[in-house]
Structure 1
């Protein structure tokens, strides 16, 4: 019965984590289907309509990486990314409805076919002047150039796993990255009108769970379950190219290279949304970390939480705590904090005491350029009893404290924080009893908000 429970637990955990993949395992051949769309494809299809589509020519949108697909078993001549990026770009231009793409990748084939048409007409219709001529080709006012400029593999890898008495599981992941550049060139003077840069990560994941158990003498039970999921490189390239087309359209609208026919309000909203996305991108560095510029300044904070006594009595209970604090920054990472709080220390049916405390801490912000940053601090403090105490007991106690926390900036003026702190008293009389060699201690923990004076300087770093 115990073994059955273990098997069920392993199976449930694995299938719950990966149910979308696990319950859609291929068991038969599938028919051809229309190609997948991405969120960017849907945005391209819903862009405001242009005043007039722009005729563009794309000669070649190449793979400029020169990389081959990595292999663990030897060399391979398969390229790492698709060689058909030109077709992807032309489809994205068509989906946007802002451009009229014309054939230029295989212009030789087109010209050759037109010559065949002319020679056939001359051969079978003679030199009749009234016969229709081959219509002239469209010419492009703008050429689109660029390509896939990089394919970086294993920019981040990792995983985790555990095994105990033959029962275990593990997960692994790997992230690659492609980069695309797309530029628009005027055919009248050769001027580069716009240049757009887009990057896209490619995720690979693996998850497995296993059970190895002797159920009887010389009878070993083995159970394994798992899956591997790799994001298709072609779809990543497609999404990056579509994003580049979207950016090129809005950049052109912003600089009046072309315009929408749906009015100034729609144009202003489209540009505002794009500028907000660009600002977000400037703050987001590699590995999707949000970078901010925390200017030296000050903040007020309010926090609530609990305390837990570690003294001479057993059966500790959590007491309530409230604190306010003021923080001033000396630099991007170093700060000074003054904290005033009220809290309760108690043990079940043995001890209860209400106190106030004042702490003076020096601290260090570990990631000063991130929206989410841990911090550490420490310093001296004092606690003062707020209730009546026996005449032979001290009402004031000196202490030192140290702690750590985590702060997340919601915006320029507001941050959320969680914290935990260890307090070490210099005497053993906080709980009214002296016992043993160790002085009284207590822990406090909680969450709160910081209000920045003048803003925290939440801007993208250069």
Structure 2
């Protein structure tokens, strides 16, 4: 009992220590500060210098979702996302040093102010002769268009918790998702030069722990603590916009729209690193499901076995053994194979015996491109006695073997996977344990853990 209580207390402390915000709770008003940066801000600032900054205009990079903030009761007129995305985009363009953004969002204000300057000069001087002209406005060679096109709430929710004798804790989480598009348009001919698309998840978490316990007669101890943390939407949008600007710059380099100051060698290195990251991100589905880039059509698996003989003994123990399997994938999901196992059965007071089994199997991989996938299989074959000489046998202890099982595979890389599994094996003999009792044939469970090596042709 003390062991379980100690474990729960340790888990309680771990729950608290897992959230850094818990130990930085606000207890007093704070002063204004320079705005927070994101992980992409430094990346933008550290990009190589451009050969020549590009003059760009941004008229409106707006919220195109039309969504209002959801509330549990009633209605609200607050929008789901901030309406200042144009300002965030201009700041990201400025940070990158690759663009010279010009004022276009409030162009009418700029033109009115220039007219005021001209009229004031004329009014106080009588005429404009001899007065310097206002410098001409810059014009953009490229327009940046697009906006926030999607805000999806609660794309995944979940949590977990445990409680034992009044002591426990729980956590809940929720993910939202925001998506933006950014495109570059040539002002000389209206051609769309490049379009990039970026999405960003927004995480909300809640952690809580509680203790409800009688410490002595009529003395009740009750303790509760918790914290809820919501990722700011503004920082999520800022991160997505900065990522889009970085992608636009590097994809523009790849398409020879512009270049770095250092020339081709720097261009190629920058594009190569970006394409590697892009391939990895394109192979990651929603909910952060990473996808394999290849599936090989041959594999060899080796495993350690832990068989449990379920026969006529009341005492059932875990034995040992090893196995090897060759598989051929007819498709990314279906495979056929041959499997051989060495099985050392134990049970009863002193029973131990060695068998080998050989089976033809058909398997099905449920998520063949995911890093973590369930795998189900079934097969038929035989099980053969290794210990008893044939002339000493009064009953045939070898027989047919029908098996089915499930495994969980984790792909370490395209060529190597780790797996754990469990299977059920039915025989047509009641003599596997050298005892005949009742009408039910002997069967056994087999637990295994091992590695699978893949090779051959890519069939993705």
Is the TM-score greater than 0.5? yes
Give the structure 1 partner of residue 430 of structure 2: 428
1:30 aligns with 2:30: yes
1:449 aligns with 2:448: no
Inter-CA distance 159–429: structure 2 relative to 1 (3 Å threshold): same
- Mean Cα displacement is larger for which, 65-74 or 281-290? 281-290
1:392 aligns with 2:405: no
Q: 1:10, 1:210 within 8 Å by CA — same for their partners in 2?
A: no
What is the CA-CA distance between 1:264 and the residue it aligns to?
1.6
d(CA) in 1 for partners of 2:362, 2:413: 24
d(CA) in 2 for partners of 1:378, 1:280: 34
Inter-CA distance 7–280: structure 2 relative to 1 (3 Å threshold): closer
1:377 aligns with 2:384: no
1:254-284 Cα shifts (integer Å, max 9, x gaps): 1111111222222112212222233223322
1:163-204 Cα shifts (integer Å, max 9, x gaps): 444333322111111110111111111111111111111111
Number of aligned residue pairs: give it: 454
Q: TM-score, normalised by structure 2?
A: 0.89
Q: How does 1:37-436 map to 2 (within 5 A)?
A: 37-127=37-127, 129-215=129-215, 220-291=220-291, 298-310=297-309, 311=311, 312=313, 314=315, 316-321=317-322, 323-346=323-346, 350-389=350-389, 391-392=392-393, 394=396, 396-434=398-436
Q: Which runs of 5+ in 1 are unaligned?
A: 458-462
Inter-CA distance 372–255: structure 2 relative to 1 (3 Å threshold): same
d(CA) in 1 for partners of 2:190, 2:347: 81
Q: TM-score, normalised by structure 1?
A: 0.89
Q: 1:413, 1:453 within 8 Å by CA — same for their partners in 2?
A: no
Q: How does 1:9-28 map to 2 (within 5 A)?
A: 9=10, 11-18=12-19, 20-28=20-28
What is the CA-CA distance between 1:8 and the residue it aligns to?
4.4
- Mean Cα displacement is larger for which, 277-286 or 254-263? 277-286
Q: 1:317, 1:348 within 8 Å by CA — same for their partners in 2?
A: no
> RMSD of the alignment, in Å?
2.8
Determine helix, strand or coil for the equivalent of 2:28. coil
Inter-CA distance 357–279: structure 2 relative to 1 (3 Å threshold): same
1:122-180 Cα shifts (integer Å, max 9, x gaps): 34445474443221111111111111111111111122234444333322111111110
d(CA) in 1 for partners of 2:418, 2:400: 29
Inter-CA distance 58–343: structure 2 relative to 1 (3 Å threshold): same
What is the CA-CA distance between 1:425 and the residue it aligns to?
2.9
What is the CA-CA distance between 1:238 and the residue it aligns to?
0.4
Q: 1:304, 1:446 within 8 Å by CA — same for their partners in 2?
A: yes
Determine helix, strand or coil for the equivalent of 1:190. coil
What is the CA-CA distance between 1:245 and the residue it aligns to?
0.6
Q: 1:300, 1:324 within 8 Å by CA — same for their partners in 2?
A: no
d(CA) in 2 for partners of 1:152, 1:315: 53
Q: 1:308, 1:443 within 8 Å by CA — same for their partners in 2?
A: yes
d(CA) in 1 for partners of 2:27, 2:97: 39
d(CA) in 1 for partners of 2:368, 2:204: 30
1:277-333 Cα shifts (integer Å, max 9, x gaps): 3322332222222345877x7322121213233242737344231x22222334443
d(CA) in 1 for partners of 2:388, 2:303: 25
Determine helix, strand or coil for the equivalent of 2:290. coil
What is the CA-CA distance between 1:25 and the residue it aligns to?
1.0
d(CA) in 1 for partners of 2:61, 2:128: 43
What is the CA-CA distance between 1:36 and the residue it aligns to?
1.5
